[in-house]
Structure 1
Amino acid sequence: MNRLEIRGTGKWFGKGGALLLAAALITGTAASARPETAHAYSVWNVYNEAMRLDKQGRYAEAIAKYEQAGREMAASRDYGNAGRMYRNAGEAYVKLKRYDRAVVSWDLESAYYAKVNLVQDSIAVQRKADALRSSVQLYYGTGLSEAALAGRERGLAPLEPANGILLGAYAEQNPKVHATNGKFYTNEYPKFTGKKHAGYLIYFTYGTPLSTIRSHLDAAKRSGTAIELGVQPLQGMGQVRDDAYLRQLARDAAASGVPIFLRFANEMNGNWTPWKSTPKTYIEKFRLVADVFHEEAPGSVAMVWAPGANPIDNLRSYYPGDKYVDWVGVSLYSIYNPSADPLKQGIDRSSHIAKLDAVYGWYADRKPIMIAEGSVSYMYPEKMRDVTEWSVYQTQQLYATLPMKYPKVKAAFWFDVDTQGTTDRVKYYGLSNNDKMLAAYRKAIANPFYLSGIGANTTLSYNPIAATVPARKLSVSGYVKTWSPTLGRVVYKIGGKQVGAAANPPWTAELDFSKYRGKSITVDVAAYDKQGKWVTTQSVKTKVQ
């Protein structure tokens, strides 16, 4: 549908009747209008009244008028202008700091734009709404029986745990745990972080022999850890062939005695890698490498396909196919970016863990998922501003939420180094330079769901609170997403009475459901920011049985 905006009025019109309406509005009269046009003009009177109230700061009254106009326009199938009314209503809600209601208005705006084929407008509005959308999912911890755990052991991918997340890191450049001809990260990193890690990431240049990283392989073998081998064809995909080099590399990997996650040519969906190529070429080369390693190193090497979380639009076109991929990995990074604030208040409200959603949604039903490398920067580099509070919260939320909301994530590798790229933009990921980040990481990985070795499992499991919940005392945790970049407290209420509270993700509290046996109840989850101000209340309905 074509649309017309009358300059200076902010009014949109559909193709039908646009000129007649424009003339009526410009002249201030509608005496000659047809009955249906006169009706439309009355709607615009409502809109004009809303604008007047809005300018006077009477936002609640303005909202009522915007919504009235939006409903009438939608009823007459003037969807484009109905969307505009709800956009204005949403902006007025923002002025009142009623962000949950603003999201509802923007959802309607997006839906109405979609009805008139304003696809890009609809997508942009939906992204804004999603960025501010509050949501809650609740879970309760329980223990798996031996039989249940054994059932999960069937049909696993190479090196995949039946239950739990393999704990990993890139630690080679952390000066507190590694030095050439000195201390080695496989020995020192467990002391540094308070927990043994199941694997470590090592970068490896395609075309060189595996013996170039012999010290790393030997150290991994001694410490009983795996290696995530980040294989990088720095000369481009043309060098990758089924030849003597590749065959020997696969045989040497099998003979190393070290479990290896072979991550071949990662982040292929970006344009920053030397091995960037067309999807066709990439798929051909990945399949070639997978065939050789599956033949020469069966069981001891797992093939990992690992795009970047962004760009997302071309990501799936590089997928080599289920036959060739053992694990799906993803690079997951966050750097503070206030320019993306949908409220234009200069605050990064994005969710680090939400960047996992697309890859998880596309592949978790058939492949184990790995965060192949990832981190959260504790500095806003453009302004050299410390944002440790934000990065600590994002890190806590990541490790607290993965076991509950993303049960098919089976490995997570933290990227522990400050890096400097060709643009001289330092990325501050190193735990050795930030005590608060280190403390947050140590606390987060203490969860027994994070495993310290290949072949390890945990009986800890998380069940969603959905249609029903057991009538007993439960350890309840939650994933709580809001428009606030950080939260400081979550309170649980049933029947208006507080039944639990928590101060850190995953917001764990002991709730007694036994007194509600046989009843349908609503658990209200109230979230507060670090200053104690109320942010949102979300509800979870369930039946206790």
Structure 2
Amino acid sequence: MNARDAALAGCAGACLALCLAILPAAAPAGESIAGFRAAGPTVPFPAVSGVDAPRPVPSGLTAAGYRKLAESHEAAGRYQEASVAYRKEATIRRKLGDVNGAKVEESKADWWHSEVILYREAPLRGARCGPAKFEPASGCYIGAIVERDPRVGGDHATFNRLTGKDHSLFFDYRSYGVAFPVEWARRLKAVGAAAQIAYEPTQGLEGVRDDATLQEFARAAAASGIPVFLRFAGEMNGDWVRYNRDPAEYIRKWRLVHGVMRRLAPNVAMVWTPNAIPEHNITRYYPGDDTVDWVGVNFYTVHHHNNLLSRPAEREDPADMLRFIYDRYAARKPIMVCEYAATHFCKADGKTLPRYAADKLRTLYTALPRRYPRVKAICWYDIDNTTHSVRAGRDINNYSLTDNEEVLAAYRDTVAGPYFLSTVETGGTRESGVRFEALAPGRTLSGSVRLSAWAKTHDDRPVVGYRLDGKPVLATAARPYEVEWDTRRAGNGEHTLEALVFVKGRVAARQSVSVRVVN
């Protein structure tokens, strides 16, 4: 930290300490304040001394001009303006064909952008399963790979016990040509779980044929008696696999495998799964809606990319990695995050990072029900790659969920609610469930209402404060910032509900919604 940064940090810290000193002490979780009760611990409500309106960012600059402007806004703490300027620079670079440069600037724009959206939890009754194979009526399946976790030893019931919740599916890898994992599937069936299989033609696509090898795999999958999500030839957009060279050939082989599964294994759902990056070539490999049941995506939260200290990754929001796939396919297909994990040990700098991993997993998992409701499944990669790496050269991060209590506790708490599902649904109607509605202006509210917020900002632990009719009610730093509001305490009529996001005592984002209370 240089002298200027140290001075700014010291000033911000002193201001925040002064604000907190004159405010009432934090209320414990569960204490009702003006009809509001927080689901988690509260913190003192930061002082609001007026919020500077974002300054307009001029038009007509060059990419270099926008870069210089963005950096000046960033240095001055005007982060929304910095975000806009970085995005304008990225747009110019894309038009010039500099895709990689555009991605770098877009990531900066994403990081500095702040936003908050209020949500209301709503019950779902009698909801029918979706049109895709095994698509749930509502909610999100949770899964993991546990075969290489020494604290679990491949025992799925043990993993469920440690995480406090039964998981809907478990995944593992299978090279093309190797027989279907019959015994593994039997163990999954014993705990009521489905299978997700990364079925990888590691020797290339030439050997993928409609022959005895593939047909026997399909028949064994059918005989397993459990739902099977088959992730054939995933990460095809990456140059680290042997089947990324010819998109047309890839599509032919995908359609061949789909045809065999449709003919012989009706319990198999085909999951087309690119890696989140690179993006520019993903759509070339899409084999068509008629042969894809689910669209998947793989991505990870690291602390440094590729073990390089010169490539820090702290300023990456894992939910942003979903956007490309989600924006293009979610309207047509359910989305599965087939592999995700956040590192809590980075070999590049030798740091143990449990808080970092806990914050990132909370950021992603709590965003799914609110911002990404078409994500219908997510699976954690529960492997310490420093000792049990699946691929050579990737022994640089520890993604194990169970060997750090802070990370495990964060996961346990985050997936505990009813939105995250313990059983794969095979059709019909579910009696009950929950969904999250963005709180629309003019919404009529009655009785007790459960509210939450999706907050995006440049800090992994922002504070969200709630105000009613301009008066502070409570503040919390616990994602997803859930509160129970007894509207009867407010009285009938029009009310203004606000959510404010604070970072180091400053308002980073806010939303104000007018609602109508009727009791």
Structure 1 counterpart of 2:195, one-letter code: I
- Check the 8 A contact 1:209/1:249 in 2, yes or no: yes
Map 1:150-161; keep pairs closer than 5 Å.
Answer: 152-153=128-129, 155-161=130-136
State whether structure 2 residue 443 is matched by structure 1 residue 469.
yes
Q: Displacement, 1:425?
A: 3.9
1:242 matched to 2:210? The reply is yes
Given that 1:526 and 1:535 are in contact with CA atoms closer than 8 Å, whether structure 2 keeps it comes out as yes
Q: Distance in 2 between matches of 1:86 and 1:266?
A: 38
Q: 1:454 to 1:338 in 2, by over 3 A?
A: closer
Aligned to 1:440: 410
* Residue equivalent to 1:35: none
Residues 511, 500 of structure 1: CA spacing in aligned structure 2 closer, same or farther, 3 A cutoff?
farther
Please state whether the residue corresponding to 1:228 is helix, strand or coil.
strand
Letter in 1 for 2:458: W
Q: 2:146 — aligned with what?
A: 171
Distance 1:392 1:92 in 2: 32
1:462 partner SS: strand
Deviation at 1:432, TM superposition (A): 2.7
Written as runs of structure 1 = structure 2, the 5 A alignment for 1:272-291 is 272-291=240-259
With over 3 angstroms needed to count, the CA separation of the structure-2 counterparts of 1:349 and 1:185, relative to structure 1, is: same
| 1:71-107 Cα deviation digits (max 9, x unpaired) | 6xx6xxxx236x7665544333322222223334445
RMSD, matched Cα: 2.9
401, 408, 414: which one aligns with 1:431:
401
Name which of 196, 208, 219 aligns with 1:251: 219
Residue-by-residue CA offset, 1:384-430 (whole Å, 9 max, x unaligned):
11222121101112222211221111111111001134336422101
User: As a proportion of its length, which structure holds more helix?
Assistant: 1
Matches within 5 A, 1:387-402: 387-402=353-368
Alpha-carbon distance in 1 for matches of 2:97, 2:231: 37
CA offset digits 1:113-155 (Å, max 9, x no partner): 589x656477754443222100112211011132xx1xx43x5
2:179 aligned with 1:198, yes or no?
A: no
- Contact in 2 for aligned 1:90/1:106 (Cα 8 Å): yes
Return closer, same or farther for 1:385/1:122 CA change in 2, 3 Å cut-off.
Answer: closer
Instruction: Report the 3-state secondary structure (helix = DSSP H, G, I; strand = E; otherwise coil) of the residue aligned with 2:323.
Output: helix
Distance 1:541 1:119, change over 3 A: farther
* Cα gap change, 1:391 to 1:124, in 2 (>3 Å): closer
TM-score by length of 2: 0.79
Distance change in 2, residues 1:320/1:110 (3 Å): closer
Q: Is residue 203–residue 230 contact of structure 1 (8 Å, CA) maintained in 2? A: yes
Question: What SS does the aligned partner of 2:132 have?
Answer: coil
The CA deviation at 1:455 is 2.3
Contact 2:470 2:496 in 1 (8 A): no
Structure-1 separation of matches of 2:313 and 2:202: 38
Q: Find 1:509's aligned residue among 478, 483, 487.
A: 483
Instruction: Give the alignment partner of residue 90 of structure 1, picking from 47, 70, 86.
Output: 70
Aligned mate of 1:80, from 58, 61, 66: 61
Provide the residue aligned with 2:454 in structure 1: 479
In the alignment, what sits opposite 1:25? none
Corresponding residue for 1:330? 297
Aligned-pair CA distance for 1:345:
12
On the 8 A contact 1:156/1:162 being kept in 2, the answer is: no
Residues 216-245 of structure 1: CA distance to partner in whole angstroms, max 9, x if unpaired? Answer: 111112222111121111221001011122
Structure 1 residues 496 and 101, CA gap change in structure 2 (3 angstroms): farther
**In the TM superposition, what is the alpha-carbon distance from 1:263 to its structure 2 partner?**
0.9
- Residues 283 and 518 (structure 1), Cα distance of their counterparts in 2 relative to 1, 3 Å cut: farther
Percentage identity across paired residues of the two chains: 33
Decide whether the 8 Å contact of 1:500 with 1:509 is kept in 2: no
**Is 1:102 paired with 2:70?**
no
Q: For 2:502 and 2:483, how far apart are their aligned partners in 1?
A: 14
Unaligned runs of 5+ in 1: 1-56, 58-66, 179-183
- For 2:312 and 2:330, locate their aligned partners in 1 and report how far apart those are by CA, in whole Å: 35
Per the alignment, residue 411 of structure 1 pairs with: 377
C-alpha distance 455-426 of structure 1, shift in aligned 2 (>3 A): same
Secondary structure, in 3 states, of the residue corresponding to 2:407? helix
For 1:345 and 1:209, the matched residues in 2 are separated by 40
Contact 2:502 2:508 survives alignment (8 Å): yes
Structure 1 stretch displaced more, 319-328 or 453-462: 453-462
Whole-angstrom distance in 2 between the partners of 1:315 and 1:347: 23
Q: Which moved more, 1:463-472 or 1:308-317?
A: 463-472
* Contact persistence 1:339–1:346 (CA under 8 A): no
Runs of at least 5 residues in structure 2 that lack an aligned partner in the other structure = 1-7, 9-54
Q: Is the 8 A contact 1:267 1:331 kept in 2?
A: yes
- Are 2:434 and 1:460 aligned? yes
**SS at the partner of 2:214?**
helix
Count of matched residue positions in the alignment of Structure 1 and Structure 2: 450
After superposing the two structures, state which structure 1 stretch, 97-106 or 496-505, moved more.
Answer: 97-106
Q: In the alignment, is residue 268 of structure 1 matched against residue 236 of structure 2?
A: yes
How far the C-alpha of 1:255 sits from its partner, in A, is 1.4
Cα 1:375–1:347 change in 2 (3 A) is: closer
Contact 1:470-1:513 within 8 A present in 2 as well? no
Task: Give the whole-Å Cα distance in 1 for the aligned partners of 2:298 and 2:457.
Answer: 24
Quote the residue 1:386 is aligned against.
352
TM-score by length of 1: 0.76
Q: Give 3-state SS (helix, strand or coil) of 1:241's partner.
A: coil
Contact in 1 for aligned 2:107/2:316 (Cα 8 Å) = no
Query: One-letter code of the match for 1:264?
Result: F
Please name the residue that 1:357 is paired with. Answer: 323
Residues 277 and 519 of structure 1, relative CA distance in 2, 3 Å threshold: same
Give the Å deviation of 1:358: 1.0
Task: State the AA in 1 paired with 2:516.
Answer: V
Whether the aligned pair in 2 keeps the contact of 1:501 and 1:509 (CA below 8 Å) is no
Residue 20 of structure 2: aligned partner: none
Measure the CA separation in 2 of the matches of 1:238 and 1:100: 51
* Equivalent position of 2:4 in the other structure: none
State the alpha-carbon separation in 2 of the partners of residues 507 and 438 from structure 1: 20
Distance 1:157 1:190, change over 3 A: same
Q: Which amino acid aligns with 1:335?
A: V
CA contact (8 A) 1:494 1:524 kept: no
CA distance in structure 2 between the partners assigned to 1:127 and 1:283 by the alignment: 31
**Residue by residue, what CA displacement relative to the aligned partner does 1:300-337 show, whole Å, maximum 9, x if unpaired?**
11111111111111111111101000111111211013
- What amino acid is the match of 2:407? M
**1:186 equivalenced with 2:156 (yes/no):** yes
- Alpha-carbon contact 2:348-2:396 (below 8 Å) kept: no
Match of 2:503 in 1: 528
Structure 1's 89 and 204: CA in aligned 2 closer, same or farther, altered over 3 A?
closer
Aligned residue number for residue 228 of structure 1: 196
- Residue 441 of structure 1, CA deviation: 1.0
Task: Work out whether residues 116 and 509 of structure 2, in 8 Å CA contact, stay in contact via their aligned partners in 1.
Answer: no
